[in-house]
Chain A
Amino acid sequence: MKQLALVIDLNVCVGCHACVTSCKEWNTSGTAGSLSDFNPYEEDPTGTFFNRVQTFEIGEYPNTETVHFPKSCLHCEEPPCVPVCPTGASYKREEDGIVLVDYDKCIGCKYCSWACPYGARELDENQKVMKKCTLCVDRIYDETLPEAERKPACVLACPTSARLFGDVKDADSVVSETIRENGGYQLMPEWGTKPANHYLPRRKTRLTIHEDELTRVDNPLNKERQLPMPDEDEQTLDDVMSW
């Protein structure tokens, strides 16, 4: 079994919205029709998006931390949005676990959007059908693209590589390894939806430097030196070499 998914590293995301704009650009230009916008330059604009980056503040001022949180369809392994669809327009692909909407079958009843606890689905007010992240199904299998570009648009756009893409069911894949080793977790586990997308938590990277490490007592070159030791500001071999 295969389950394609995104792994989003909250420790790395800087909240630049590059994934939001590249997603919108790619998916509004596709053959399935545009992601419609209304009143884009006027009062009360609105539009359809698959992906959003939100910002949260954790803790109490002044001891706070800012977390940028990208959110799109999580391609749940037990997607509650699929069985409720009366037409079968909403479905989960056997072959790679991507949850999709067949725009030709959808009647726009919005029931699936009620049944998604994450608010990942949006009705396109122009086409009057339900839309959501497709994991760029129209590019990840496109053999006319160079291999390195067969990834979702958001993943390619991310300047900090906060977004990884791969098969979370393959234990040897980069995404599985990252989830395993960096404490990857799922959103709202209480509803049993088993989201395929995972998030990596904020991590503190601390470096402890001891005094003796600064003075390099273990420097092997010291052995051959003549005593006494050189003065603090005298150049060492390292200082001469590293320019």
Chain B
Amino acid sequence: MHPAFSVIFLTTLIGAGQGMFLALYTGQIYSVFNLVPGQDSHTFYGYGSLLALIFLAMGLLASFFHLGHPERAWRSAAKWRTSWLSREVIVLPSFMGMTFIYGLAHFTGYNPVLFSISDVYVVDLTLLLGFLATGLAFLLFLCTAMIYACIKFLQEWATPLTVVNYTLLGLASGFTLATVFASYAGIQLVSFYAGWAITLTVIAAITRTASLLRNSRIKPKSTMTSAIGIRHTKIQQKSRGFMAGSFNTREYFHNVSAALFKSIKWIFPILVFILPVIILSSGMATNSFAIYAFAFAVQYVGLIAERWFFFAQANHPQNLYYQTI
């Protein structure tokens, strides 16, 4: 497939936004159980939610560049019964809304206690709001990934690993972002988040490698024989029927050299997994904002390469019909 930058930015930005929110909420839950020091509602959770929202909004904005008719985008909520894209279109704004409410409750300090468990663990409003937003965040990972995983003849995508990887990569980048944020606004949580970011990055490295291994072994189900229905082992296209360009020759081929394609396959794991883990670990010694920010920047650039590769690697069966001019 031809990687579209609008979709690359959409999926990586909202992934980081979702991960950022989940990091905030993880911190809040830990503080309820007194495992980490509680943070200031206003400056930490309030501004943290704002940061998550900025990433989500940038992702949403990027998605509009993918559409031929962005002014009709509202129509895309119609077919949620059958279309994962439609479901994503509903869940993304719902999650953003819930994150906004969660952030607002923290920001304004409106946080009545709902109940407490054995007088020790206090459950307040933001904990409930955050719980709902968490559900939506995971639902959004599912919707985004299923858009790709549900097309069964794009065999590189049609695997549960797609959902696993979208979720883990979003979480890893979000927790790295939370580390950067904490080094600025909540210094006590820096190593907590950095530890999580490293753990998630390592797990994501394992699952993404698993999908790379799986994809390198794929045997395409569609062949020249099934494409034109002629039973012969030697079929060669002599003409695709036109010499000009067309949608079919643009949309489904990545059109970069084999060497560049191969090199990105090796570059993205270094940028997404290896370097961030090294930089985050070295950052933990100094807790410097700049080092963490660098780790996030490297990982994010790596994710752009990762997503590019995800699209470019998918081999659409229609390409069988467009092999030669």
Contacts and interface: CB of A to CB of B under 8 A. Distances in A.
Contact of B226 (A113, A121, A125, A190): A190
B174 to A, nearest CB: 26
Contacts of A128: 68-69
A119 B238 contact: no
A56 B78 contact: no
Contact of B318 (A17, A84, A117, A190): A117
B85 A46 contact: no
B76 A187 contact: no
Nearest to B240: A54
Interface in A77-127: 80, 83-89, 105-111, 113-119, 121-123, 125, 127
A165 interface: no
Given A71-B321, A107-B75, A109-B85, A202 B230 contact: yes
Interface stretch (B27-35, B36-44, B201-209, B247-255): B247-255
A80 B240 CA distance: 24
Nearest to B70: A107
Contacts of B319: 119
A84 B82 contact: yes
A185 to B, nearest CB: 5
A85 B72 CA distance: 14
A107 B78 contact: no
Interface string B68-91: 111011011111001111100100
Contact of A67 (B66, B77, B228, B234): B228
Contact of A129 (B68, B89, B151, B235): B68
Contacts of B251: 110, 113, 123
A142 to B, nearest CB: 28
B43 to A, nearest CB: 39
Nearest to B242: A52
Interface of A: 10, 17, 20, 44-49, 52-60, 66-67, 69, 71, 80, 83-89, 105-111, 113-119, 121-123, 125, 127-129, 185-191, 199, 201-202
Give 7 nearest A-B pairs by CB, closest first: A108-B68, A119-B318, A128-B68, A86-B86, A83-B82, A86-B76, A52-B241
26 contacts: A17-B241, A45-B244, A48-B246, A52-B242, A56-B224, A56-B236, A57-B238, A58-B232, A71-B321, A84-B84, A85-B83, A86-B78, A86-B79, A86-B86, A87-B72, A89-B75, A107-B68, A109-B67, A114-B1, A117-B316, A119-B316, A187-B228, A187-B229, A188-B226, A188-B317, A201-B230
